[in-house]
Amino acid sequence: MLERKAARLLVGLVAAVAALGMAVSAHAQEKKIKIGVIYDLTGPLAGGGSELQYIGAKIMLDQYSKTGVEGYRVEAVYADAQSKPDVAINEAVRLIEQEKVDMLLGFFSSAQCVPVAARVEQLKKFMWITTCISSAVLDNKNYKYVFRPQASGDQFGTMTMDFIAQNAQSKFGKEPKDLRVAIIHEDGAYGVDVAKGNVAGAKKAGFNVVLKEGYSATAPDLSALVTKLKRARPDVIFHTGYNPDITLLLRQAREQGLKFGALVGHGAGYGVYEKLKEGLGADANYIFDTDPISIWLTNPEGLDPKLPPVIKMVGEEFDKIKPGVAIRSAHVGMAASNTYVFLTEVLPRAIKKYGGVDPDALRKAALDTDVPDGGTMLGFGVKFYGEGTEMAGQNERSFPVVIQYIDDKSYVVWPKSQAQREAVLPLPAGTTYSYK
């Protein structure tokens, strides 16, 4: 009788221990961060750079889904914004309320970023912006949970104006006040913001602005804009657009015989060389683009020693997905780098210092981030403006560069500290748009 009772007790004890083990195991499995990732995988913005951003972020998230971070499993849930702001908002809310993600990451289009950031802040969830640049996302919003390691749009606009101003005399043989410039842009949040920086930079340089005009990125015909450009006779055109509007503009410019000295683009469609080449052929040669530097163009000697192997890995993984690409787009490395900063800087600190991955832990960890120049694959550092500042949540150490496409390669030409070669200015005689 005693033996049977002891046996029952032993069986019960074993079962209890097993149940406890299962509970502990289940608890261990629950230690994860669920990241909602939103980019445009369909619609015009996909080919304009958003799909490449998605690939860059996914390469990095896939790496950390294998290893985890500080004992937490990394699980990504992907959504397609379909190149539509209303879909981006709905998908953000769905990921938070139905998929129960801990945070959101990604966002290519500024037209989506502005309303989505407001909604995510309202829901008190953490948002990490890898891409969209409009200052309007953060300017005077004083958000607590929205952070952007990426450079902001006004920096793009002022950077290109400074680049041309510093080259006006030596390359064009003109004083800045005698240089005729046109500022054209798609009329969404992205284009408006960059153009604002262009205007401020033009005023500072003393340029003669002969045309400033916005247009819809979905316009089926831009010939009227080309006619205005022909009348204005600019030396330099500063353009902010996506694609196919860039291709449409330049094809119609070719048909109508528009001539100019230089075309300076600002990210988005100008950051996808394959699309420019596909739409324009040899006319893609000598176009300028302003963006955070391609991670494959950064000087390894100026980077933290742990970063070049990561850059190599991203390139190898990208080549498997998109073999035979002439120039790896800066978009890929941009998203990879900004995602890497979150996974290696913010997330570990949130877990170790602030006890988990809730929005306040992630927020405090982001505000503690202090990465020096050379500490990211994009070459710049990371330090966020704090609450109560005009651009709370913006990385104060970020900056773009100006690159030029020459013979199926891209070269950094500005600022001088990053330059790989001299800029070709103005367009060489004999090229399609050259006014020489």
What pLDDT, in 10s, does the model give residues 73-84?
999 999 999 999
Residue 24: its pLDDT value, please?
43
Q: Which residue has the higher pLDDT, 267 or 224?
A: 224
Question: What whole-number distance in Å separates Cα of residue 249 and Cα of residue 243?
Answer: 10
Q: Beta strands of 149-279 (E only): which ranges?
A: 180-186, 208-215, 236-240, 262-266
Give residue 112's identity as a one-letter amino acid code.
Answer: Q
pLDDT at 14 over 90: no
State what percent of residues in the chain have pLDDT above 70: 93
The region of weakest confidence among 6-15, 66-75, 156-165 is 6-15
Nearest Cα neighbor of 369 from 388, 356, 350 is: 350
- Phi then psi for residue 264, to 5 deg, are -115, 115
pLDDT digits (tens, 9 = 90+) for 176-232: 999 999 999 999 988 999 999 999 999 999 999 999 999 999 999 999 999 999 999
Q: Could you tell me the strand order of the sheet in which 401-406 lies? A: 208-215, 180-186, 236-240, 262-266, 288-291, 401-406, 409-414
Alpha helices, H only, 40-147? 44-45, 51-67, 85-97, 110-122
Nearest Cα residue to 302 out of 401, 234, 386, 396:
401
Looking at residue 21, its pLDDT comes to 47
pLDDT value of position 384: 98
Q: What phi and psi, each to the nearest 5 degrees, are found at residue 79?
A: -140, 150
Residue 153 or residue 308, greater confidence: 308
CA-based nearest residue to 113, from 193, 186, 42 = 193
pLDDT, averaged across the chain: 92
φ and ψ of 93, to 5 deg:
-65, -40
Q: Residue 415: what pLDDT?
A: 87
Q: 426: cis peptide before it, omega within 30°? A: yes
pLDDT category at 27 given cuts 50, 70, 90 is: very low
Task: Please report, for residues 131, 254, 315, 337, the alpha-carbon distance to residue 38 in angstroms, rounded to integers and kept in the order given.
Answer: 11, 36, 22, 16
Q: What is the pLDDT of residue 130?
A: 98
Average confidence (pLDDT) over 358-381: 97
Helix (H) or strand (E) holding 229: helix 223-232
pTM: 0.80
Q: What is the pLDDT of residues 41-85, one digit of tens each?
A: 999 999 889 999 999 999 999 999 999 999 999 999 999 999 999
Q: Which domains does the chain possess?
A: 31-151+304-367 (3.40.50.2300), 154-291+401-414 (3.40.50.2300)
Instruction: Tell me the C-alpha to C-alpha distance, in Å, between residue 47 and each of 38, 41, 380.
Output: 15, 8, 27
Tell me the mean pLDDT in the region 29-35: 86
pLDDT, residue 8, reads 53
Q: At which residue do the structure tokens 């230690």 appear?
A: 31
Local confidence band at 301 (pLDDT 50, 70, 90 cut-offs): confident
The percent of residues above 90 in pLDDT, for the chain, comes to: 84
The mean pLDDT of 339-365, rounded to a whole number, is 98
**Average pLDDT of the segment spanning 155-174:** 95
H or E element, residue 80:
strand 73-80
**Pair type for strands 236-240 and 32-39:** unpaired
Gap between the Cα atoms of 197 and 210, Å rounded: 16
